Structure 1
Amino acid sequence: MNIRTAIAAVLAATACLTLASCSDNADTNAASKPSSTPTVDPGNAFVTSVIDAHLDSYADGVPAAAELKAFPPKWCDALEAGHTVQWMLDNVDTYPSGETWGTGKTDAYQLVLLGTQAYCPKWTDQVRDDLRESGEY
């Protein structure tokens, strides 16, 4: 083997190894990077929508976020179980109120809709239908 052939073989081998190495690193780096699609916490989206709604019940201040965020998962579970908005608002465990705050019935309807949109959007149409049937939407 002459020197030119040997150098060409070494260069070719180095190029192959470099390409293979880059490929492996690119895959590893892509897997270790976080997704560029941000995830939105449904609780934060819900609280923001409640603030933006300017509900009369909260004219003196919106209840604590942690207290508000406790209700939408209960509403989603109730909807999954086949209950209506009226059932939820007739039930003390799912009516949006706390020790130091309450929600008027009209605002409670809006709150259930906002919570459903943020936490379990697949039930939004049913909530709207329930509210329309009751004359509240």
Structure 2
Amino acid sequence: MRTRTTTTALIAAGLLALTACGTEPEPAAPAAGPTASASTDPEDQYLSTAHDITFNGAPTDDELTELPPQWCDALADGHSVEWAFDPTGGDLYPIGQEWGTVQKDAYTLLVAGVRAYCPEYLDTVTDELRESGDY
């Protein structure tokens, strides 16, 4: 009987050793790479919308990207969208020497610029445009 107990113990120990060898931790999943989310660069965000707008003429990216900082400055100074776009006010309507856009698209461009460059004014701008019935 003693041999049988010893043999059983040896077999159990051997199986335990084999089991321990086969239980290596699984390798960690590879780290996730960058996601395909929208760019966090304000210029890229803004120009993405601007490039979807139909202009009368062809503004350059430089001409388009000059506008949002000016809009943000006007908003920071407490001016309205109406004032910013008025030729006797801020005169910041998106128009160039050889290009322009309709008011609806100008508002879309403005909202994209504010969203990208000074999002703290986004609610103010969209509220004003909705109240005017133009957005």
Query: TM-score, structure 2 length as denominator?
Result: 0.64
Corresponding residue of 1:44? 44
Aligned residues: 96
Q: Give the 5 Å matches for 1:10-89.
A: 40-51=40-51, 54-56=52-54, 58=55, 61=58, 63-89=59-85
Instruction: Give 4+ residue runs of structure 1 displaced > 6 Å after superposition.
Output: none
Structure 2 unaligned residues grouped into runs of 5+:
1-33
Please identify which structure carries the higher helix content: 1
Larger of the two Rg values belongs to structure: 2
SS at match of 1:86: helix
Q: Indicate conservation of the 8 Å contact 2:56/2:100, yes or no.
A: no
| Unpaired runs of at least 5, structure 1 | 1-35
**Cα drift, residue 55 of structure 1:** 2.6
Give the residue type in structure 2 aligned to 1:88: A
* Matched-pair contact (CA < 8 Å) for 2:50–2:109: yes
Q: Percent identity?
A: 44
Q: Is the 8 A contact 2:43 2:65 kept in 1?
A: yes
Give distance in 2, aligned partners of 1:41 and 1:67.
17
Question: Separation in 1 of the partners of 2:48 and 2:129?
Answer: 22
TM-score scaled by length of structure 1: 0.63
- Quote the offset at 1:59 in angstroms: 6.7
Q: CA RMSD in A?
A: 2.0
Secondary structure of 2:45's match?
helix
**Aligned twin of 2:20:** none
Structure 1 range deviating more: 114-123 or 82-91: 82-91
Q: Could you give the per-residue CA deviations for residues 58-83 of structure 1, whole angstroms, max 9, x where no partner exists? A: 2765x210000000000000000111
1:125 to 120, 123, 126: 123
Change (3 A) 1:101 1:60: closer
Shift of 1:99: 1.3
Alpha-carbon distance between aligned partners in 1 of 2:111 and 2:69, rounded to the nearest angstrom: 13
CA–CA distance in structure 2, aligned partners of residues 77 and 128 of structure 1: 17
